[in-house]
Amino acid sequence: MTLVRLGYVAMSVHLENASPSKTMTYTRFSKLDDRDAAIRKLEQIAETNLHNCLRLLRHNLAHDIAFFRLSSKLVPLATHPDLKGWDYIQSVQSSLEEIQKFLTRNTNVRVDFHPDHFVLLNSPGPDVLKNSIKSLRMHYRLLQGMGVNPEHRCVLHVGGGYGDKEKALEQFIHNWAFVSPDLQSMIILENDDKVFTLSDTLYLSEKLAVPMVFDYHHYLANHTESENWREDWERVVQTWDSSTVPVKMHISSPKSDKQFRAHSDYVDSAMFMDFLREIKGTVSQIDCMIEAKQKDAALFKLMDDIQKYPEIEIVDGGCFHIT
DNA sequence: TCGTGTCAAGTCAAT
DNA sequence: ATTGACTTGACACGA
C-alpha cells in the first residue's frame, strides 16, 4: 500500500484575486524618480504576494491539500543588481511570520520551490552561476523566514547542454563546489524534457547525494532506447533515503501529439493510474506535484477521476491510498 | 473591460 | 553575429 498526496503549482484557478506573483518590472522601477517610494512599492507588492500565498495555503487546507509549490516571484526584483543592499526579508518579515504561524499549526503541509529556468548551476558562465546562486540564496532566506527547514525544498533541472552533454554534466559537478553546503542541502534535481534524461540526472543525484524528482512526462518526452524508467525506479527512491521529506515526483500530461512537451490543462487519469500500479508498494508515501494549466482544478478533477478505480481508497480531498 | 504588445531570464535553433 | 522561439504570468496601453 502506498499513500499518495497530490499538490499543485503556485496559484489557484478557484481563489480569485490571489496571485502570489504580482510584480514590477525593472524597466518600470527604473523610470520612477523617487527611489525610496519605488522600493516601498516593491515591498507592498511582496507583502501582497505573501498574503495571497497564505490565502492559498488556507484554501488548500480547506480542501485537504497538503502539498504546494511556492511561487518564485514572491519578491519582485529581489535579486536584481540595482537593488543590492535592499533588505527585502526584513521588509516582509511580518508576512513571512504569518505563513510561519500557519505552517507551525499545520506541520503536515509540504511546501517547496521550483526556481525559474534561468537558475542554472551547470553554466560555464561565471555570471550566470553567480546570479543563480544569488537566486538560490533568496529562496533559502524565504524558507527560513517561513520557518521551513530548507533541506530538499528546491527543485532544479541540471541545466543547459552547451553542445556537449557529458561536459555539461561534469560542469555541474565542478560548479557544485562553488555552492555553499546550506544551499546544496536545499536542492533536489529533476530530469528534463530536452537534454538530461533520467539516467543523466540519476548519475548526478547519486554522485552528489541529491534527491531526484522523477518527472514522468519529461521521461516520455526525453529518454534513450536503452532507458526504461522501471529499471531505475528503485535508484530514484533510494536518493530519498536520507531525506526528512517523502519521495516526490512531477505529474503532467502532453498538451497534444504535436505539442508533446507542453503541459495539458488536466492530467490524464488513465496514464496516472498506469504509473501508480507500477510503483505501488515500492514506497510508503509519495507526493505528486501536478503541473497542469488548470492548477488546483486539475487536482480536483484527478481526485474525482481516480475514485472509480477499486484499488484506490480516498483518504481526503488531496490524498489517497493505492493497494 | 477587452485584446494586444511588452517584460524578465538563459539557451538554442535559425538566419 | 544577430534574431526569434521557448515559457509564463502580469502589467501597460489603447480601443
Q: Tell me what pLDDT residue A91 has.
A: 94
pLDDT at position A31 is 87
A183 in a domain, yes or no? yes
Query: What percent of chain A has a predicted confidence (pLDDT) above 70?
Result: 100
Closest residue to B8 (CA, C1′): A25
With beta carbons less than 8 A apart as the criterion, state whether A229 and A217 touch: no
The pLDDT of residue A229 is 97
Mean pLDDT, residues A191-198: 95
- C15 C1' – A116 CA distance, angstroms? 34
* pLDDT at A13 > cutoff 90: yes
Task: Tell me whether residue A2 is in a domain.
Answer: no
Considering chain A, what is the average pLDDT of its residues?
95
A262 touches strand C (CB under 7 A): yes
Interatomic distance A218 CA / B9 C1' (Å): 22
Predicted structure pTM score: 0.96
Q: Which nucleotide is nearest to A45 (CA to C1')?
A: C10
Helix (H) or strand (E) holding A90: helix A88-91
CA→C1' distance for A22 and B5 (Å): 19
What is the mean predicted confidence (pLDDT) over A290-297?
94
Q: Packing angle between helix A229-238 and helix A269-279, nearest 10 degrees?
A: 70
* CA-closest candidate to residue A304, choices A267, A254, A277: A267
Domain that holds residue A63: 9-243
> pLDDT band at residue A61, thresholds of 50, 70 and 90?
very high
* Nucleotide at minimal C1' distance from the A162 CA: B11
Specify the range with the lowest mean pLDDT, choosing from A94-98, A157-161, A260-264, A271-275.
A260-264
Reference A219, options A254, A172, A256, A187; nearest CA is A254
Which nucleotide comes closest to A22 if you measure CA to C1'? Answer: C10
| 3-state SS, residue A157 | strand
Residues 20-59 of A with CB under 7 A from strand C: 21-25, 28, 45
Q: Residue A254: what pLDDT?
A: 92
Express each pLDDT in A74-83 by its tens digit: 999 999 999 9
Q: From the alpha carbon of A255, which nucleotide's C1' atom is closest?
A: C7
- Strand C close to A302 by CB, under 7 A: no
Bridge-based pairing state of the strands A2-9 and A319-322? antiparallel
C15 C1' – A21 CA distance, angstroms? 28
Helix (H, G, I), strand (E, B) or coil at A262: coil
In a domain, A314, yes or no: no
CA distance A290 to A296: 8
> Using 50, 70 and 90 to split pLDDT, how confident is the model at A40?
very high
Nearest nucleic acid nucleotide to A27, CA to C1' distance: B7
Spell out residues with C-beta < 7 A from strand B: A 25-29, 80, 116-118, 120, 123, 125, 127-128, 131, 159-163, 195
Residue count (chain A): 323
C-alpha span between A111 and A145 (Å, rounded): 13
Residue A55 is part of a domain; what is its CATH number? 3.20.20.150
pLDDT at site A224: 93
Q: Which residue is nearest to nucleotide B11 (CA to C1')?
A: A160
* Mean pLDDT computed over A177-205: 96
Per-residue pLDDT, averaged over A106-117, amounts to 96
Helix (H, G, I), strand (E, B) or coil at A312: strand
> CA–C1' span, A134 to C12, in Å?
29
Would residue A308 count as lying in a domain?
A: no
| Domain-located, residue A293 | no
| Strand C close to A2 by CB, under 7 A | no
Instruction: Using the C1' atom of nucleotide C7, identify the protein residue whose alpha carbon is closest.
Output: A117
User: Is A127 a domain residue?
Assistant: yes
In this prediction, residues A90-114 reach a mean pLDDT of 97
C-alpha to C-alpha distance for A190 and A218, rounded to whole angstroms:
9
Average pLDDT over residues A277-290: 97
pLDDT of residue A42: 94
Task: Give me the phi and psi of A154, to 5 degrees please.
Answer: -135, 110
Tens of pLDDT, residue by residue over A207-254, are 999 999 999 999 999 999 999 999 999 999 999 999 999 999 999 999
Question: Which nucleotide comes closest to A168 if you measure CA to C1'?
Answer: B11
Q: Is residue A177 part of a domain?
A: yes
Split into its structural domains, chain A has a count of: 1
Q: What is the DSSP string of A226-277?
A: T--HHHHHHHHHHTTTT-SS-EEEEE--BS-STT-SSBPSS--HHHHHHHHH
pLDDT at A18 over 90: yes
* CA–CA distance, A315 with A263 (Å, rounded to integer): 27
Helix A198-208 × helix A229-238 angle, to 10°: 20
Residue A259 has pLDDT above 90, yes or no: no
Whose grid coordinates read 555539461? A168
Cα separation, A50 vs A32, whole angstroms: 24
Pairing of strands A187-190, A212-215: parallel
- Euclidean distance between CA atoms A25 and A290, whole angstroms: 29
- pLDDT category at A258 given cuts 50, 70, 90 is confident
Selection from A221, A192, A75, A213 nearest residue A122 by Cα: A192
What tens digit of pLDDT does each residue of A198-213 get? Answer: 999 999 999 999 999 9
Nucleotides of B under 7 A from a protein CB: 6-12
- Segment (H or E) for A5: strand A2-9
Residue A214 lies in a domain: yes
